[in-house]
Amino acid sequence: MILFIFNNQPYDGGDKTYNALRLAKSLHVKGEKVKIFLMSDAVDMAREATQKPDFYDYDLVAMLKELFMDGIALGVCGTCMTRCGIHKNQPYFDENIKGTMGMLTEWSIEAEKILTF
């Protein structure tokens, strides 16, 4: 299993998040088991309120949703859900994605590789 851990605000002016989502999709398509965990300001990537800025070419929320709907496991740090991101206290695109440090611990132990962004 390959675990992706995201920490940064999705639309931070760079392509780090976009490229990581592309890699996650490519690995998933090749048959790898992929899990994604969002922490800190990256939690905004799972919020409907997060809109693609005009200056950005790709909708990162839509990309993450597509991966989730295609079977990639997604966890969002429960502590960060209420205290982090531009859209604090806004709903998430799925109510079942709330994660815990225990979940991240288990996923980390299970993972063959951990990639952080």
Delimit the domains of the chain by residue range: 2-116
Q: Provide the token pair at 24.
A: 């996650």
The answer as to CATH 3.40.1260.10 being correct for domain 2-116 is yes
Per-residue pLDDT tens digits of the chain, which is 117 residues long: 999 999 999 998 889 999 999 999 999 999 999 999 999 999 999 998 999 999 899 999 999 999 999 999 999 999 998 888 887 778 899 989 999 999 999 999 999 999 999
0.75 exceeded by pTM: yes
Looking at residue 12, the DSSP 8-state letter turns out to be S
